[in-house]
Amino acid sequence: MKINSAEFLTSAVKPSQYPPVGGPEIAFAGRSNVGKSSLMNTLLSRKNLVKTSSTPGRTQTINFFRINDAFSFVDLPGYGYAKVPAAVQRRWGPMIEEYLKTRRISAVSERGLKGGVAGVVVILDVRRIPGEGEHDLLDWLAHYEIPSHVVLTKADKLKKGQLGKQRSAIARELSADPATLLLFSAVTGQGKRELWTQLETWL
Ligand code: GTP
Ligand code: MG
């Protein structure tokens, strides 16, 4: 995909603050500090359009970006970081669910609008076996029939042999076919082309 334009639209914590629906949206979800914002920047070939941070729990709002004036990228807040105040943590689950529910393609088309969530990229750290947060998110996406694709990021952190083993272990935990779990790295760009191929089928 050639990126001609990519601009920050707005931040929101509730539906009344979302931008008007205008074409398909691709959302990026995952645990705090997993590398969501970095992955988005890599896809867009932008250095710091989406703010990244070495401090976990940095993205605490839903951030909308307009790409090529045709579709949107949506950076969802990361879940599961213990140092974020409990009150903020409690808001995240409902905030993410509310976004996915109100922007579902079927919910949007009922309102006579064109667009909505075309797919969700679920981002995992390749070094970590998924836990409750990931299971909740994937169950939730399946329940609402929202297409999703699991990406294992920070692949540059492991050696080739370890990568294969970790991918198999994560696949087992998720009852998924290992071949469907895409290895990605924001540092080397590994997986960028394959991920775009998936996103293009959604768009
Ligand atoms: P929150 O918004 O806080 O939930 O974090 P996030 O998921 O958006 O993570 P972010 O992209 O801000 O990255 C967190 C840290 O991981 C930063 O220090 C990044 O430089 C680092 N990082 C992200 N992706 C990669 C990767 O593929 N490889 C390596 N080695 N580091 C990465
Ligand atoms: Mg972030």
The pLDDT tens digits for 16-28 are 999 999 899 999 9
Please name each of the domains of the chain with its CATH number.
6-121+129-150+187-202 (3.40.50.300)
Taking Cα atoms as reference points, which of 122, 154, 99 lies closest to residue 30?
A: 122
33 CB within 6 A, ligand 1:
yes
Ligand 1 midpoint to CA 22 (Å): 28
pLDDT at 118: 96
Ligand 2 midpoint to CA 193 (Å): 21
The residue whose CA has the least distance to atom 18 of ligand 1 is: 54
Alpha helices in the chain (DSSP H): 36-44, 86-103, 105-110, 132-143, 160-174, 192-202
Q: Find the ligand nearest to 123 CA.
A: 1
pLDDT at 80: 65
Output helix, strand, coil percentages for the chain, rounded to the nearest 5: 40, 25, 35
Q: Find the ligand nearest to 42 CA.
A: 1
Question: What gap in Å lies between CA 95 and CA 129, rounded to an integer?
Answer: 24
Ligand 1 midpoint to CA 81 (Å): 14
| Stated pTM of the model | 0.93
Question: What gap in Å lies between CA 69 and CA 107, rounded to an integer?
Answer: 23
CB 11 within 8 A of CB 76: no
Q: Find the ligand nearest to 191 CA.
A: 1
Ligand 2 midpoint to CA 47 (Å): 13
Q: How many helices (H) and strands (E) does the chain have?
A: 6, 7
**37-85 pLDDT tens trace:** 899 999 999 887 877 766 665 667 899 999 999 999 999 988 665 555 6
Instruction: Report, as an integer, the average pLDDT of 133-142.
Output: 87
Which atom of ligand 1 has the smallest separation from the CA of 188?
Answer: 27
For 189, other C-beta atoms within 10 Å of its C-beta total 13
pLDDT at 133: 82
Instruction: Give residues whose Cβ lies within 5 Å of ion ligand 2.
Output: 36-37, 59
59 CB within 6 A, ligand 1:
yes
Ligand 2 midpoint to CA 30 (Å): 9
pLDDT at 50: 76
97 CB within 6 A, ligand 1:
no
